[in-house]
Amino acid sequence: MTVMPTQTAVDENNELPDAQVILSRYTSRVIPFWKRQVVQGVFPGAQNVPIAYAYVVNPEARGSVVISSGRIESLLKYKELVFNLYHRGYSVFIHDHRGQGLSGRLTDNPHQGYVDDFRDYVIDFKRFYDSIVAPNSDRENRFLLCHSMGGAIGAQYVLAYPEDFQRVAFSAPMFGIQPALPRWLMHLVVGTHHLVNQWFGKSPWYFWGQMDYEAEPFEKNILTHCEVRYQIFREEYLKNPNIQLGGVTGRWLLAAVRAMSHIARYSRTFPIPALIMQAGEEKIVDNQAQNAVSRRFPRARKITIHGARHELLMEADYYRDQSLRAIYAFFDE
């Protein structure tokens, strides 16, 4: 097994850019681009759950990037990144995972994060790839870009369908979650909650401590240093309450633990080159699990964005630009 040496981003010294510059660019360029050029639609996923998607075809595409988003997220949150990738020369594709965003919900309470099995995410993704991505892009230079939970989904997809993408970049991937408990203890706690739910509950329960969607003020957030991007994200969810999502159910957490175990078990057989970008101030996923997986992937490169929080792709420009440069360089190879 050959693992490329770890690369480390430069340390934090620079001033963060003016929020007004980001906001002005978003309102004057990103929003008109999205309204004018991006195609949106819906297709039937596994069990006929409606899956929402969006894409934009670059007429002079150097390749295609398919985005696998994180938990609670919607494609509406990715307008700026889609804009960036398009103007880098890529066609861009994204869909909302089942149970969140604009896609169909799976429980009576639409705020509950629920999935029966992560393989359902992969089935939806394959249908998206076959019906939307493949007919609208060239076979060569198809790349996968995953964030957080989307990393666990994307890794399972690549293991199942190794011919569909040439490279994959992971942003703060969910190869483990906080708190970083021993695997046997996590299985025990989550499994116990799920069994009690099955015995006494007629519908899925939130896992202990989880609740309906609530907008966290920026000062309390642990996702990003960029207040303007954080407020854009929250305002999108305020304007579109149907995309709001709360905490996870015990069933979702059990499915996630099983998915992460599957990735760890088969990590030595991971078939394509991978870039793993780690947030230095991570509070959501487990960086040690990322380290372990990156060491086992046969062709993996890991970089650390020091000082950055979990949302590398909506961080302050100082951190976000490091992430985008790493992604572009990796795909350009």
How far is CA 122 from each of CA 128, 135, 136, 171, 237, rounded to the nearest angstrom? 10, 19, 20, 18, 25
246 closest CA partner among 100, 118, 148, 123: 100
Task: Enumerate residues 6+ apart whose C-beta is below 8 A from 24.
Answer: none
Instruction: Indicate if the pLDDT at residue 247 is higher than 80.
Output: yes
Give the integer Cα–Cα distance in Å for 305 and 282. 10
Give the integer Cα–Cα distance in Å for 243 and 236. 9
Please, where are the H alpha helices in the chain?
A: 19-25, 31-37, 79-87, 118-128, 149-160, 183-200, 227-239, 250-265, 287-296, 317-332
Tell how far CA 28 is from the center of its chain.
26
Give the integer Cα–Cα distance in Å for 34 and 122. 27
User: Could you tell me the two tokens for 325?
Assistant: 């440069």
**CB neighbour burial string for 180-214, b if at least 16 within 10 angstroms, e if fewer:** ebeeeebeebbeebbeebeeeeeebbbbeebeebe
Structural domains of the chain ordered from first start: 7-332 (3.40.50.1820)
Q: Would you call 91 helix, strand, or coil by DSSP?
A: strand
Instruction: Indicate if the pLDDT at residue 84 is higher than 60.
Output: yes
Would you tell me how many other CB atoms lie within 10 Å of the CB of residue 260?
A: 26
How far is CA 281 from each of CA 21, 195, 311, rounded to the nearest angstrom? 25, 34, 10
Identify the band that residue 180 occupies on the pLDDT scale cut at 50, 70 and 90: low
The reported pLDDT for the residue numbered 14 is: 46
Angle between helices 250-265 and 183-200 (to 10 degrees): 150
The reported pLDDT for the residue numbered 184 is: 67
Rg for the chain, CA atoms, rounded: 19
Identify the band that residue 181 occupies on the pLDDT scale cut at 50, 70 and 90: low
**CB neighbour burial string for 126-156, b if at least 16 within 10 angstroms, e if fewer:** bbbbeebbeeebeeebbbbbbbbbbbbbbbb
Give the integer Cα–Cα distance in Å for 270 and 256. 19
Q: Which of 1-10, 229-238, 312-321 has the lowest mean pLDDT?
A: 1-10
Sheet containing 142-147: order of strands? 7-8, 300-305, 274-279, 167-171, 142-147, 63-68, 90-95, 50-56, 39-44
What integer best gives the mean pLDDT of the chain? 92
Q: Would you call 102 helix, strand, or coil by DSSP?
A: coil
DSSP string computed for 276-318: EEEETT--SB-HHHHHHHHHHSTTEEEEEETT--S-GGGS-HH
The reported pLDDT for the residue numbered 179 is: 75
The reported pLDDT for the residue numbered 16 is: 56
Question: How much of the chain exceeds pLDDT 90, in percent?
Answer: 83
CB 303, CB 279: distance < 8 Å:
no
- Claim: this prediction has a pTM higher than 0.95: no
The reported pLDDT for the residue numbered 15 is: 46
Please, where are the H alpha helices in 60-171?
A: 79-87, 118-128, 149-160
